[in-house]
Structure formats: C-alpha cells, structure tokens
Amino acid sequence: MDKVFNRLRNLDAYPKVNEDFYSRTLAGGVVTVVSAAVMLFLFFSELNLYLYTVTESTLLVDTSRGDTLHINFDVTFPAVRCSILSLDAMDISGEQHLDIRHNIVKKRIDANGNVVEERKDGIGAPKIERPLQKHGGRLGHDEKYCGSCFGAEESDEHCCNSCEEVREAYRKKGWALTNMDLIDQCQREGYVQRVKDEEGEGCNIQGSLEVNKVAGNFHFATGKSFLQSAIFLADLLALQDNHYNISHRINKLSFGHHFPGLVNPLDGVKWVQGPTHGMYQYFIKVVPTIYTDIRGRVIHSNQYSVTEHFKSSELGVAVPGVFFFYDISPIKVNFKEEHIPFLHFLTNICAIIGGVFTVAGIIDSSIYYGQRTIKKKMELGKYR
C-alpha cells in the first residue's frame, strides 16, 4: 500500500515548497491585488451574462392550416365623420365582411382632437313610436312591426325594421339608395341629421378583426359600402362627396398578440392628404411568429413589413379610403429565450481564474528576476 502511495506522490504536479524558502516582495503583493481585482471583475461579468436571457431565432416553413389572423387597429381620421366611416374586409377565399360593427368602437373628435362622444358602433339609434308598416299604414297597438324594404325584399315575409336593414337589403341587391330622407326607418333614426350634426368633426376608430389566415384586405371607406360586381364602392347616398380628406394617423396596427421586442412599423405613422384626392394603400407582408419565453410560455403572433402607395382619383377610379392589403409569408420565425448552459458558465469561470493566475505569475516572475539581475549588475559595478 505504501508503494502505491509513493507512486501517487511522485505524480504530484504541484510540488510544495517549504515556507522557509518563500520570498515575498512588494511587487508580488501589487500583482496579487491587481490580479484578484481582475478575477472578480471578469467573474461578475460572466455571471451577468449567465443570468441574462439570450433570444435565439430560427426560420421554418409555416405548415399550419386553418388558422385565423387577429388584427388590432386604432386609426384616427381628423376630417372624416364617424357616421360615414365604415370598415370592410375581404380575402382571396371569397369571404367578405361589409360595414363591420362587431368589436368596433368609434369616438367622435373635434378639430383639436378632443373626444366629443364615444360609443360602440351600431348602438344608440333612437326608438320612435308608430313607425310606418310594410303595407303603408302606421303601426297599431295590436300589430307586430314589419317595416318595408322599399322594393328590396327577398320574400313576402321579409321585413326591414331599421335603416341598417334597409341599406343591407339594397346592398344585397346591388342597388344604390339615392335618398335616405325618403326612407321611414332612416328618418326616424335620424341618420341623415346625425351626419349633418357631425360636420367638421373627425373620428377615431379602434377595435379588432378575426379573419382567415389567407391573403386579403381590410379598409376604412368614406361611406357605407355595398358589393357590386365584386367591387367595393362608396354609397354615400345624397351625402356623397368624392373629395373627402382621408388624412389619417395610425396609432396602432398589429397582427396578433404583443411579445418582447416586437416592432410594428405602422404604429404612430401619420399621412396628410395633399391637393389631390384618392385612396391610400398599404401593402403588408405578414410573417407568422412564435415566441417562447424563459418560463416556457408560448405566444403565437405575427410581425410585418409594409410599403405604401397613394392612388390619385385623377388617374382613374379611386374610392376615397385607406386600404390595407396583406399577404401571409410562407416562412415562420421562432424566437426562444435561453440561458447560457451552466457547464459553459463553469468552464468560462475556470478559464478566467486559471488564465489570470498564470498571467499574473509570469508578470510577477519577470519583475522579480528582472530586479535580481539589475541588482547583481549594480553590485558588480556595471550600473552606476
């Protein structure tokens, strides 16, 4: 057993020196303090890097199917009245949503940008007693109300009990409603008067849309839209005006939930219309994105890039409005938050301690033997 221990003792790469042979110097003490300070500084720097999360990104082909796209928006039109501002959406699959009102909030604003009134779109129409019946007479006490669609009925039992239902019936027929003052439902609800009361005001419209995850567009048009030969047109009725000022500010536009580091390039973008009128177009490329944080929480969202174009009415048919045309990228981006591996951190700490210790030893030895050489030469009289 003693032989084994002796062999192990001979393998000692760190031979010990008796303390009687130690020679401590002032230079060695300074080098020790400086090297210890450098070790501590590098150690805490490495610790900070270890605790800091690093976001790694990868690109993959998006193989998801049947998903929907969530669009959040907040847009201000300083010169367009809320009552004539409508939101429509359609996609290449043929799905269309006209005059969207669900999850939409409109705020009337004055010339200074102050909110005059805030209400959910489609709510607040007054109820007038004894409306005009489909047969031409006024509603009796024992009758059930069934308003006329003014020639746009789909069947004999079809009733239009509000101005919106009359306009919807006309939209389905592809007809233009030429004078809303003659429509009993619109007259009772004060639609025309409401438009006139909002003269000189602007509108802030905000809300969200849930659309198919395919290429499409949504737009804010000056007037309630209807569909004719698959083309959206502005039906402003007797109040129609092709010279609307569509200056606007996009306070917010995002496709999905927010995640750390997300930048929406259209947030805060402002456009002021010049002397020519027309439609302003945004062409957006949506990039599906998955973000996984350090706790494993997964956020499904989207990034996007955008280009812009103004189409003047002088160059042809240009419906006044702001149009957002979006397309879906086939490439998906994965972001994942990660820490530096612990073994990597431990390796770097060992390298710091060993490296600084070795370099400090070389510097100390150089100073020590340099001083000894100079001292010997001085003793021999070579230096005076």
Three-state SS string over 212-280 comes to ECCCEEEEEEECEEEEECCEEEEECHHHCCCCCCCCEEEEEEEECCCCCCCCCCCCCEEECCCCCCEEE
Q: Is residue 76 within 8 Å of 249, Cβ to Cβ? A: yes
Q: Return the domain boundaries, the chain.
A: 17-52+338-383, 58-110+203-336, 129-198
* Whether the predicted pLDDT of 114 surpasses 90: no
What is d(CA 130, CA 187) in angstroms, rounded to the nearest whole number?
Answer: 13
Mean pLDDT, residues 259-265 taken together: 93
Phi then psi dihedrals of residue 323, to 5 deg? -115, 135
pTM of the model: 0.67
* Whether the predicted pLDDT of 138 surpasses 70: no
**CATH node for 58-110+203-336:** 2.60.470
What is d(CA 223, CA 127) in angstroms, rounded to the nearest whole number?
Answer: 23
* Whether the predicted pLDDT of 48 surpasses 50: yes
**Residues 99-109: pLDDT tens digits?**
788 889 999 89
**Do the bridges between strand 202-212 and strand 216-222 make them parallel or antiparallel, or are there none, so unpaired?**
unpaired
| pLDDT score for 102 | 85
| pLDDT score for 236 | 40
Long-range contacts of 30-36 (CB under 8 A, 24+ apart): 31/360, 31/363, 31/364, 31/367, 32/360, 32/364, 34/360, 35/356, 35/357, 35/359, 35/360
Question: Would you call 351 helix, strand, or coil by DSSP?
Answer: helix
Cross-strand partners of 228? 231
Cα–Cα distances (Å) from 122 to 86, 105, 119, 145, 184, in that order, read 11, 9, 8, 20, 18
Q: Is residue 343 within 8 Å of 73, Cβ to Cβ? A: no
* Whether the predicted pLDDT of 86 surpasses 90: no
Burial annotation 123-136 (CB, 10 A radius, 16+ → b, else e)? eebeeeeebbbbee
**Residues 270-283: pLDDT tens digits?**
999 988 888 899 99
Alpha helices, H only, the chain? 2-10, 26-51, 163-173, 184-189, 191-197, 342-379
CA 94 to mean position of chain CA atoms: 26
Q: What is the DSSP letter of 177?
A: -
When pLDDT is cut at 50, 70 and 90, the band that residue 224 belongs to is low
DSSP notation for 333-346: EEEEEEPPPHHHHH
When pLDDT is cut at 50, 70 and 90, the band that residue 238 belongs to is very low
326: enclosing H helix or E strand: strand 321-328
Q: Is residue 280 within 8 Å of 246, Cβ to Cβ? A: yes
Residue 358 in tokens: 């070795």
Q: Which residue has the higher pLDDT, 98 or 205?
A: 205
Block residue for tokens 């996009």: 250
When pLDDT is cut at 50, 70 and 90, the band that residue 263 belongs to is very high
What is d(CA 8, CA 173) in angstroms, rounded to the nearest whole number?
Answer: 100
**Do the bridges between strand 96-97 and strand 224-228 make them parallel or antiparallel, or are there none, so unpaired?**
unpaired
Mean pLDDT, residues 332-344 taken together: 89
Residue 85 in tokens: 């501002």
Q: Is residue 35 within 8 Å of 367, Cβ to Cβ? A: no
